[in-house]
Structure 1
Amino acid sequence: MSGLDPVIHPVTRLQIMGVLGSVSEMAFDRLRDIVQVSDSVLSKHLSALVEAGYVSLRKQALDGRQRTWVERTGPGRRAFEGHVAALQSLVGA
């Protein structure tokens, strides 16, 4: 079906993109807890989303620790909205 984005389609990536839609950015550890995956699994999915240009990562020192912040990009927002619309079309068919 056209409109479904193979980068976003895996469930964990769909969850990531949905969660990031409600915030300007989110700390890696908070996103990991919401999506309920390990650090390595989240890192793998974020790498695919970064490569597609759908999210960006920012590193910053906080309380003496390096923290990673995740943000959905404009192209990522559009891709997510298109994917959701394709899913809705599929369900309505």
Structure 2
Amino acid sequence: MTAPKLDELIHAPTRLGIVAQLAAADWVVFKYLRDSLELSDSALSKQLSTLSAAGYVELHKAFVGKRPRTTVRLTPAGRAAFETHVAALEQIVSRSRTPPEWSHAT
């Protein structure tokens, strides 16, 4: 893994929620993602387009019977970006739990 680094694209709360959900699965159905994040179709589509343009997600459209079904997954680049972003967040949090030597914390 590369050095921990915040990713501005993933850092936005909605996109962070999307990527976190996708990191826990292989493929995720659009409807499930929309409902679990409490987003509208258009809001989720916009965020997925942004993530797709960056190469972080892949979308697959198919039909189940006569109904369209869109599934989404993280690409290897998206998974790597998420992992380095989370590592940076964990680093920030761990520093908050250990006061610096010059601190007067009790």
How many residues are aligned here?
92
- Which runs of 5 or more residues in structure 1 are unaligned? none
Aligned-residue CA RMSD in angstroms?
Answer: 1.1
Q: For 1:1-93, list aligned pairs within 5 A.
A: 3-93=5-95
Q: Deviations over 1:15-71 (max 9, x none)?
A: 111111111101101110111111011011101100110100000011201111101
CA distance in 2, matches of 1:22, 1:28: 15
Structure 1 residue ranges (4+ consecutive) displaced by more than 6 angstroms after TM superposition: none
Q: Which amino acid aligns with 1:38?
A: S
Instruction: Name the CA distance, whole Å, in 2 between partners of 1:59 and 1:75.
Output: 21
Which stretch shows the higher mean deviation, 2-11 or 33-42? 2-11
Q: How far 1:89 moved relative to its partner?
A: 1.0
Identity of aligned residues (%): 48
TM-score, length basis structure 2: 0.83
Structure 2: give runs of 5+ residues left out of the alignment.
96-106
